[in-house]
Structure 1
């Protein structure tokens, strides 16, 4: 895909905003495990987080292609788009499957920043990515649903007003397919926390705000249901394809940050009376990392193209995420090796970004599950589970 003037304008705009939040800003937040309130507010006010909300609801009406560039540039500038990407992809379920009343009620307020939809409650501690086995239930009782169960690794609850929740509304032994009987709800966290929903933060190796959730007879009004009851798993999948493509773009941004940093350092750092960049032992890993990032980028554009045309982007989205996560990790290793001991010093930011990009080998879907997806869905091999 050849980038057009509109894409370059987006890059320039995001870079100009990110220039106000330099490495020292992110380093200080990382040290305190703090949320980038100022950065998120600036991104919201500039309209970048409303990129994919239709113009009729106050957004920009852009596609996944443009959204991916926004998140790529945040990471390429040294930031952490993991603090804002939820607002991009969590609203897909609402946008595609919500009622007209729900969209009119929430989308304009999401576009303006009055409301934040940064969280999605799917993963559970005993089922992991085997989503069809989830145990959280939502039982209809008169004019409400009553939710009980547990979720884990649910991010940005503390900085979100709303959450997409997947829960089982029909027992597994009463459905024809294991993927049936689950439903999607839009939870108002301001009303839920402390009234049936308990949040327990999880300390972790990166500055990524994530939590365990405990539901104890949480009551939800009927109008919290998105789409048709029992079809939630199908609804979630479309949003996950967008999520994986956006994560791929973030990894590409990370990879380019690592390579650019390493190349500058390799040209400036002099050992044995010569820049270390003259040594092929330094050159080759960086060249290889650059090649792999560029290849992953091509698959990112392919996934975006299919998604924006309304075609099945599942395979391309998964492959883009796999290639980009792998490439960014290799770029991180090459960069750290180029810096040597200085790469471990906080002031150079390598170790921070090193930790941040490692996450994407595991989440939002592990590389092994992507390999299973491609083997079985694309190559026609027998299912392994």
Structure 2
């Protein structure tokens, strides 16, 4: 990857993270992908040096850096060969904590975030539901007030790291949909203890195609009791609060996709230089060379879009001319472009290696399996195109 244009701080982040990740080679990730074992060692190494709190306040033990630096951190983790699995092992701890840092009370921030930063706690993010999917405003998980507690009932799906998490940042409905004026009303955000040993909480692991080192789960709540002070911000304003983290997630996921794409391209170009057929390295043939060159240019273009979006997100806190609409368009566009560029790079890497690309020992088949994640989540390609068509081009809403 070309690193011109990054700040000295960003390059220091990249160097430090690459050094940590050098202790976790491709074989480590292949073994964990095969066994489904969680990469606890990476989380421990990153939390030991304070990287979990890269974009959280310094007064809580974080680094106080921006989403730009956090994106480059996850980009570097993914590019090391860890791929989406490695990045996703700390993904929610980086972005889902952003709304808590911004909207929680000072005492809540101190109580909730410090132990995430030092690695004592791990957090998962509970938004997606099986019957609502992308229709977040129609989610049905209910938080019902009961004295000095809420009782949570409902279901979440595709919750990463729930098997190892001790906390969840949860979006639930505190006012039924039929009783609100707007669908965006009546949703509330909570920071809750996440303990399947307690009554009313059950997990069910989902078998999946790639990134198997990090668990994905269905989560079932049945009158699961949480204290009233789990509420972040005001009751009923959870959707507006959680949006603060969603744009950040778009940037982080774009960075993870880029890292995966660059890793795949590196494998392909190395192989193309070394593999000799008919007396010449296959990389000499334009049928190999041109697709890889094109993949590189797509990655570089997506890289520019990604770090432009992250800069807008970071600067919006001090620059009033940067609108939330501009940030939303930039972050969604970056996620789309990075996901597509990663897919192109991963597919062409497998094809460059030919039969060996299909073999686990060369790792590119694992990259290809993982590259579908940023194309699907946290929002599909088609919904991003709907968003740009409506919000930027002014076309009629299509859904």
TM range (shorter): over 0.9
Are the counterparts in 1 of residues 258 and 303 from structure 2 also a CA contact under 8 Å? yes
Residue from 306, 319, 341 that aligns with 1:327? 341
Equivalence for 1:100:
106
Residue from 340, 351, 365 that aligns with 2:379? 365
Equivalence for 1:202:
206
Residue correspondences, number: 383
Equivalence for 1:21:
24
Are the counterparts in 2 of residues 337 and 343 from structure 1 also a CA contact under 8 Å? yes
Q: How big is the shift at 1:237?
A: 1.2
Larger mean CA deviation between 193-202 and 129-138 belongs to 193-202
Report SS of the residue matched to 2:198.
coil
Q: Following the alignment from structure 1 to structure 2, what is the Cα–Cα distance between the partners of residues 305 and 360?
A: 20
Are the counterparts in 1 of residues 52 and 118 from structure 2 also a CA contact under 8 Å? no
Report SS of the residue matched to 1:158.
coil
Q: Following the alignment from structure 2 to structure 1, what is the Cα–Cα distance between the partners of residues 21 and 110?
A: 31
So what's the TM-score if we normalise by structure 1? 0.97
Q: How big is the shift at 1:194?
A: 3.2
Q: Following the alignment from structure 2 to structure 1, what is the Cα–Cα distance between the partners of residues 7 and 157?
A: 41
Report SS of the residue matched to 1:159.
coil
Q: Following the alignment from structure 1 to structure 2, what is the Cα–Cα distance between the partners of residues 369 and 205?
A: 23
Equivalence for 1:69:
72
Are the counterparts in 2 of residues 245 and 300 from structure 1 also a CA contact under 8 Å? yes
Equivalence for 1:113:
119
Report SS of the residue matched to 1:106.
helix
Q: How big is the shift at 1:90?
A: 1.1
Q: Following the alignment from structure 1 to structure 2, what is the Cα–Cα distance between the partners of residues 254 and 339?
A: 17
Q: How big is the shift at 1:189?
A: 0.7
Are the counterparts in 1 of residues 125 and 169 from structure 2 also a CA contact under 8 Å? yes
Equivalence for 1:91:
97
Equivalence for 2:362:
348
Q: Following the alignment from structure 2 to structure 1, what is the Cα–Cα distance between the partners of residues 40 and 110?
A: 27
Q: Following the alignment from structure 2 to structure 1, what is the Cα–Cα distance between the partners of residues 306 and 200?
A: 40
Equivalence for 2:192:
187
Q: How big is the shift at 1:96?
A: 1.2
Please list, as runs of the form range in 1=range in 2, the aligned pairs for 1:127-166 lying within 5 A after superposition. 127-166=132-171
Equivalence for 2:319:
none
Q: Which runs of 4+ in 1 moved over 2 A?
A: none
Q: Following the alignment from structure 1 to structure 2, what is the Cα–Cα distance between the partners of residues 181 and 175?
A: 7
Q: Following the alignment from structure 2 to structure 1, what is the Cα–Cα distance between the partners of residues 43 and 187?
A: 32
Q: Following the alignment from structure 1 to structure 2, what is the Cα–Cα distance between the partners of residues 66 and 193?
A: 37
Can you give the 5+ residue segments of structure 1 that lack an aligned partner in the other structure? none
Q: How big is the shift at 1:193?
A: 4.3
State yes or no: 1:82 paired with 2:88.
yes
Report SS of the residue matched to 1:149.
strand
CA RMSD of the aligned region, Å? 1.1
Report SS of the residue matched to 2:163.
helix
Report SS of the residue matched to 1:373.
helix
Are the counterparts in 2 of residues 256 and 293 from structure 1 also a CA contact under 8 Å? yes
State yes or no: 1:305 paired with 2:311.
yes
Residue from 24, 34, 37 that aligns with 1:31? 34
* 1:137-186 C-alpha deviation (Å, 9 max, x unpaired): 11112211111111111110112111011111111122111111110111
Can you give the 5+ residue segments of structure 2 that lack an aligned partner in the other structure? 317-321
State yes or no: 1:171 paired with 2:181.
no
Q: Following the alignment from structure 2 to structure 1, what is the Cα–Cα distance between the partners of residues 164 and 106?
A: 26
Equivalence for 1:213:
219
State yes or no: 1:55 paired with 2:58.
yes
